[in-house]
Amino acid sequence: MDQNLQVRLRSLPLEAVEAAQFELRSAPLPTPAPGEVLVRAHYLSLDPYMRKRLADAVQGRVALAPGDLMMGRTVGEVVESRDPGFRPGEAVLGWGGWQRYAAEPAGRLEKVAPVAGLPLSVHLGVLGRPGITAWLGVVHVAKVQAGERMVVSSAAGAVGSLAGQMGRHLGAQVTGIAGGTRKCRAVVEELGLHACMDYKSPSFVQDLQEATPQGLEVCFENVGAAVLDATFDRMNENGRIAVCGLLGQYHSGPPYAYRNFARVLDRALQVTGFRIDAHPQLHERARADLRAWLQAGVFRQWETVSQGLESAPAAFVAMLEGRGQGKTLVQVT
């Protein structure tokens, strides 16, 4: 109990991320200072934004270097508290990073209540940042309406799988884009989307055209690059594109050259990038909707869970390569 297992950067990735670019280290168990709380992580969230942070570090835009602890959202249990607002045994969301124990400032922690029949990981998925992000894109940015036609890229991912189900619940006809026939089949059969296109297929552009004969009013974009390029061509006049992520462009190489960007002007498209932390005033409203929809059975929550902190590097690489479905997590303890 006096040692803390951590995952730190061995080197920054210049191209594809590899598990060998991380290393396990043992460190002394942190001692919380006044105003801090010692938290034992139960689940660690692995997310695409981490790839962007690594690319930004290569470009010198963020301070992240070999030897640093990898950042990450966690849900866990209070072990020791030096702040009157928290008590041992309480469940909390934090930013403990890739480690078993973290001493975090109390102001960065958020208490969470258990949800009957579901593990604490639900607070890193439907009721967490993926759910809030999907809600912001679908409800606040795109303002999806019943009867509209909508496409969601990375429709089998943590955010995309929720955004697609939200759009369906609000009455839109939702087409998904995912990698591989197995994922596409699951998106349709398990999540209830109208159709799903495999972006890895040589006929992807044609398949998307045939699946959207009347065009699209809404795009929830997670990938960018060639996937968004094909979608530009399917958008109807005054269509709305909510740009949530650009996973296909989170690398250190040359930027993608869009061929169909002129559609933004030709069809008066609204292209709106959004970030979860730019809308804190909407989070409570989002959580209320998400909890109600979860209890009503609107969502099927997909999780890809690996066991033990030692598995985090390989699980992160697998997520970036699209080998999981839904929310990617590490069950730390």
Reported as a single tens digit per residue, the pLDDT across 69-84 is 999 999 999 999 999 9
Q: Would the pLDDT of 2 be above 80?
A: no
pLDDT at 253: 72
pLDDT at 251: 75
DSSP H helical segments within the chain, as ranges? 49-58, 129-135, 158-169, 181-189, 204-211, 225-232, 263-266, 283-295, 312-320
Q: Would the pLDDT of 252 be above 70?
A: no
Smallest CA-to-CA distance from 301 within 120, 177, 141 is with: 120
* Same-domain check for residues 39 and 170: no
Q: pLDDT band at 172, cuts 50/70/90?
A: very high
Contact (CB, 8 A) for 170 and 183: no
Q: Would the pLDDT of 200 be above 60?
A: yes
Q: pLDDT band at 1, cuts 50/70/90?
A: low
188 within domain boundaries: yes
* Same-domain check for residues 268 and 309: no
Residue 154's CATH number:
3.40.50.720
- Cα–Cα distance, 174 to 148 (Å, whole number): 8
Instruction: Pick the range with the lowest mean pLDDT from 46-60, 87-101, 127-141, 152-166.
Output: 46-60
The label of the residue with tokens 């030096």 reads 82
- By DSSP bridging, strand 216-221 and strand 149-153 are parallel
Give the tens place of pLDDT for each residue, 4-27: 999 999 999 988 999 999 999 999
Strand, helix or coil at 9? Answer: strand
* Same-domain check for residues 204 and 112: no
* Same-domain check for residues 144 and 246: yes
* Same-domain check for residues 137 and 273: yes
Q: Would the pLDDT of 67 be above 60?
A: yes
Tokens for 291? Answer: 């909890």
Handedness of CA 213, 160, 198, 189 (dihedral sign): negative
Tokens for 195? Answer: 């159709």
Average pLDDT over residues 84-95: 98
Give the per-residue SS3 of 299-311. CCCCEEEEECHHH
* Same-domain check for residues 112 and 98: yes
pLDDT at 134: 98
Q: Would the pLDDT of 105 be above 60?
A: yes
Average pLDDT over residues 38-67: 94
293 within domain boundaries: no
Average pLDDT over residues 120-145: 97
Domain count, the chain: 2
- Cα–Cα distance, 140 to 85 (Å, whole number): 32
* Same-domain check for residues 90 and 153: no
Compute the residue count for the chain: 333
Domain coverage including residue 49? 3-125+301-331
* Same-domain check for residues 105 and 50: yes
* Same-domain check for residues 115 and 210: no
Average pLDDT over residues 295-320: 96
Residue 67's CATH number:
3.90.180.10
From 242, 262, 277, the end of a domain falls on 277
Q: Tell me what the pLDDT averaged over the chain comes to.
A: 96
